[in-house]
Amino acid sequence: MRSPEWEKYVKDILSHVKFKYDHKYIYSEIMEHMEDLYNNLVNEGIDENEAIKLTVEYMGDSEEIGKALNKEHNPFVGWIYRILKYSAMLLIFLNISTVFIFIFSSINNFVTVNENVEKYGQKIEFIQEIDEKRKIDNTYIFLDKIVRYDNGDIKILYSLFKNPFSYGTKFTNGDILKIYDENNNEYIFRRRSPNKKYYSYYEYTVDNFPKNEEKLIIKYGDRKEEYTVEISMKKGGIYEQK
C-alpha cells in the first residue's frame, strides 16, 4: 500500500540528502517501514485513509529526518562505503561456500523459530479489545487485546514500532509491562516475542489469573513516566486509561 502522501513525504526527506547514490536505498527502507506501520494501524481497526495519514505523522518531521540522514550519508563517507561494498562483493564471489553456509544457517534458524511457536490449545472464554496507543521517545506502543482462556490463563497482546529514522532519544523496551489485579498484587508472566528489528509483536501469558478478580491493571512506560490501563475482566467489559 503506497499513496501520493507517502511519495511526497519521502521525496521531502530525500531533498535534504545530497549523496544521490543512496536515494534508492533510503527510499526503499522508508517505504518498507511505512508499510509495516500502516498494516499495524489497519490491523488495529483504524480506517485505511486515516491510517495513511497517521503513518506519515508517526514517522516524524521530514526535514529533521532528511537532515539527519544527510549527515550519515554525506558524499565522502558514501564513496568510501561504495568502495568497501564492492570489495566485499568481490570477496563473497571468491568464497561462494561461505555464502551457502550463511544461507543454510538463516533457513535453519527460520524453521527452528517457527517450529517453536506454541499452539496454546485452550478454549477461549472471551477476548477484550484494547485501543491503547502511546508514543515514548522513538517508539510507538500498541496495546492490542487480552485473551482469557477457560483454564484461567490470560494472554496480553501488544506490539512495538521503533522509528528507525528518529534520531532523538532511544526508547529501551525490555519488559515494559507490569501486571496487577485491583488489590495491587503483581503477577509473573511468560513472554513470547517474535521480534523484528523495528517492529515486534509480544504475547504475555499469566497463568491462573483468579476468575473472581474483576479488573486487570497494566502499568507500562520508561523511567521518566509510567502509564496505567485498567481492564474489566468481565465479558463485554470496558477498559480505562489513567
CB of 206 within 8 A of CB of 187? yes
Q: Half-sphere exposure of 6 toward its Cβ, with a 13 Å CA cutoff?
A: 21
Task: Give the pLDDT confidence of 66-115 residue by residue, as tens digits.
Answer: 887 777 665 554 555 555 555 555 555 545 444 443 443 444 334 333 33
The CATH code of the domain that includes 157 is 2.60.40.1640
* Tally of structural domains, the chain: 2
81 within some domain: no
Task: Give the pLDDT confidence of 2-61 residue by residue, as tens digits.
Answer: 788 999 999 998 998 887 777 888 888 888 888 888 888 888 788 888 889 888 888 888
Clarify whether residues 223 and 137 are in a common domain. Answer: yes
Residue bearing cell 490501563: 229
228 within some domain: yes
97 within some domain: no
For the entire predicted model, the pTM comes to 0.48
113 within some domain: no
Clarify whether residues 140 and 234 are in a common domain. Answer: yes
Owning domain of residue 201: 124-241
Clarify whether residues 135 and 226 are in a common domain. Answer: yes
Clarify whether residues 151 and 56 are in a common domain. Answer: no
Helices (H) and strands (E) in the chain, counts: 6, 10
24 within some domain: yes
pLDDT band, residue 196 (cuts 50/70/90)? low
- DSSP category for residue 81: H
Angle between helices 23-43 and 4-14 (to 10 degrees): 140
193 within some domain: yes
Residues 6+ apart with CB under 8 A from 198: 33, 36, 161, 162, 163, 164
111 within some domain: no
